[in-house]
Amino acid sequence: MGSNALSRLQRDALSKPGISSSIVLLGINDIAWPGTPFAPETSLPNIEQLTAGFTQLVKQAHMQGVSMIDATIPPFQGTLEGTPITHYYSDEKNQLRLALNEWIKTSQAFDNVIDFDSILRYANALNHIAPEYDSGDYIHPGEAGNKEMAYGFELNVLNNALSRSKNSPQNW
């Protein structure tokens, strides 16, 4: 659906004058779409393919002196249940989401990370967005969820990203 992440990052962020940091939340469509009417012939990627793509994004940003803040992927169980769009969620897809989130948090590939998964997930069902944060479709946060995501940003994350972006790309 639309342009790939590398071209979108360039178009929507890196090409903007004065940019010093980019915050990205990517990966859910890569994980959820394979095998659905959105991408019926597409195979589920493996963790190596996903992490290689993220690494390429970081390199692209760093080459232009832009720091990269990444976000973990929130839970999505229940999305599109009861609709003609089948196979959107599966345990296999969720395990891939969890593996990617773990890599995002531990790889040190990014200048900073915000854990939207832990912010939005439901304590009683960890693969679901908390009902109070859900927009009603089990994947997109509603107003309260968006506020909670904003509160999850610590100012030092943004300040560190700003100071890091002033460094030469050779220092990345």
Buried b (16+ CB within 10 A) or exposed e, 94-115: bebbbebbebbbeeebbbbbbe
pLDDT at 169: 47
- Distance of CA 60 to CAs 66, 84, 85, Å? 9, 38, 34
pLDDT at 172: 43
- For residue 135, which amino acid is it? S
- Average pLDDT of the segment spanning 94-104: 98
> To 5 degrees, how large is the angle CA 67–CA 69–CA 71?
165
pLDDT at 123: 93
β-pair partners for 70:
24, 113
| DSSP state at residue 122 | E
- pTM of the prediction? 0.88
CATH code of 21-165, in short, is: 3.40.50.1110
Residue 79: both structure tokens together: 């999305």
pLDDT at 157: 66
pLDDT digits (tens, 9 = 90+) for 8-48: 999 999 999 999 899 999 999 999 999 999 999 999 999 99
pLDDT band at 156 (very low <50, low <70, confident <90, very high): low
Q: Return d(Cα 27, Cα 44) in angstroms, integer.
A: 12
Q: Return d(Cα 44, Cα 67) in angstroms, integer.
A: 29
Q: Return d(Cα 149, Cα 134) in angstroms, integer.
A: 12
pLDDT digits (tens, 9 = 90+) for 109-144: 999 999 999 999 999 999 999 999 999 999 999 999
pLDDT more than 90, % of the chain: 77
Pairing of β 121-122 and β 125-129? antiparallel
